[in-house]
Amino acid sequence: MTPLIEARGVTKILEGVVPVTLVKDINLAIMQREFIAITGPSGSGKSSLLYLLGLLDLPTIGDVLIDGRSTNLMTEDECAEVRLSRIGFVFQFHFLLPEFSITENVALPMRALGRLSSRAATLRAEELLISFGLRDHLRKTPDQLSGGQRQRVAVARALANDPPVILADEPTGSLDSLATAQVFGILRDLVTLRGKTVVAVTHDINLAVQMHRRIHVVDGKLAQFESPASVASIPQA
C-alpha cells in the first residue's frame, strides 16, 4: 500500500547567524487507518515535524510524499490543493476566525477548495458540527463556546474536505480532563469508525498508550516504538 504521507530524509534547518536544525533526517511512513502519537520533550521538534508532514512548511533537505507523489516536484498551486484536500490540521490553539460563525469557519476550507457549492458547503459544515454535538451552537462565534467545544469545531474544520489524514498538534493540550476525553474520543472514532488516519502530538502518556503506535522525537530525530507495551516503558517528558 502507498503511504498517505511519507517523509524521506526530511531535515529542516533555520538559516541565521547560528543555523538551527529543527528536524533531522526523518524517515517515516504513515498508512491508512493509523492512530499515531508523536511524543518527545518540549522543544524537540514535534510541531516542526508535524508542519513538514502537513505541507505547512518546506524541508531544507529531503522530500515529503503525499499518496506517493513527491511534493518537491509539485508547483505551489498543486501543493496547496493537495494540502487542502488530503490533510486536515488541528492546532493546539484553535485558530478559528473570531468574526465568523463556527459553521462559516468549518465551511471555509470547502470554499477555498471550490469543489462544493456555497450552499452544499454550509450544509456539510452543519452536518459535521452536529455530528460532534454542536447542534445548538451552529450560529455562534468561537468566543461563545468553551475550549472543548472550540476544539471540536477545529476537528470539524480539519474534516471539511474529507481528507484521509488528520494531523493534530497537542489537540488536548489546553483542555480539562472532560474535554480532553471528548476530543480524544472524537479523534479515536475518526480512525475506528470513519477509517481516517490521525497523527497527534501529545504529552499525555495515558492518551499515547491508547494509540496504535508512537513516534518519539528527541533533538529533531526519531526513536520509533511500535507497540503500546513499549510505549509504556518510555519515560515521559
Ligand X SMILES: Nc1ncnc2c1ncn2[C@@H]1O[C@H](COP(=O)(O)OP(=O)(O)O)[C@@H](O)[C@H]1O
Q: Which three cell numbers stand for residue 78?
A: 498543486
Min separation Cβ 43 and ligand X, Å:
4
Closer to Mg ion at the Cβ: 128 or 154?
Answer: 154
Q: What is the distance of C-alpha 183 from the center of its chain?
A: 13
| Cβ 202 to Mg ion shortest distance, Å | 11
For the CB of residue 16, give the shortest distance to ligand X in the complex, in Å.
Answer: 8
The smaller minimum CB distance to ligand X, of residues 43 and 68, is found at: 43
The entry of Mg ion, ligand X, none near residue 43 (CB within 5 to 8 angstroms by kind) is: ligand X
Residue 152 C-alpha cell reads as 471540536
Work out what residue 233 binds among Mg ion, ligand X, none; the CB cut-off runs from 5 to 8 Å by kind: none
**Which of ligand X, Mg ion, none does 44 bind, CB closer than 5 to 8 A by kind?**
ligand X
Residues 93 to 152 in contact with ligand X, rule: CB under 6 A: none
Q: How far is it, in rounded angstroms, from Cα 79 to Cα 193?
A: 29
Conformational region of residue 181, where left means phi above 0, alpha means psi within -120 to 50, and beta covers everything else: alpha
Q: Cell digits for 61?
A: 533537505
**Can you read off the three cell numbers belonging to residue 164?**
484521509
Size of the site for ligand X (CB under 6 A): 11
Question: How big is the CA angle at 159 (ends 153 and 165), to the nearest 5 degrees?
Answer: 130
CB 116 to ligand X: min, Å:
33
* Least distance from Mg ion to the Cβ atom of residue 233, Å: 23
Burial of 149 (0-12, 13-18, 19+ CB in 10 A): buried
Report the alpha-carbon distance of residue 187 to residue 89 in Å, rounded: 12
Nearer to ligand X, 78 or 93 (CB): 93
| Residue 42 interface partner, choices ligand X, Mg ion, none, CB cut-off 5-8 Å depending on type | ligand X
Q: What is the secondary structure of 180-207 as a DSSP string?
A: HHHHHHHHHHHHHTT--EEEEE-S-HHH
Q: Please give the residues from 5 up to 64 whose contact with ligand X meets the rule CB under 6 A.
A: 14, 20, 22, 40, 42-48
For residues 198 and 214, what is the distance between their CA atoms, to the nearest angstrom? 12
**Interface positions, 42-61, toward Mg ion (CB under 5 A):** 46-47
- What does 40 interact with, of ligand X, Mg ion, none (CB < 5 to 8 A by kind)? ligand X
Instruction: Find where cell 519515560 sits.
Output: 235
* 218 binds ligand X, rule: CB under 6 A: no
* Interface contacts to ligand X, rule CB under 6 A: 14, 20, 22, 40, 42-48
* Interface contacts to Mg ion, rule CB under 5 A: 46-47
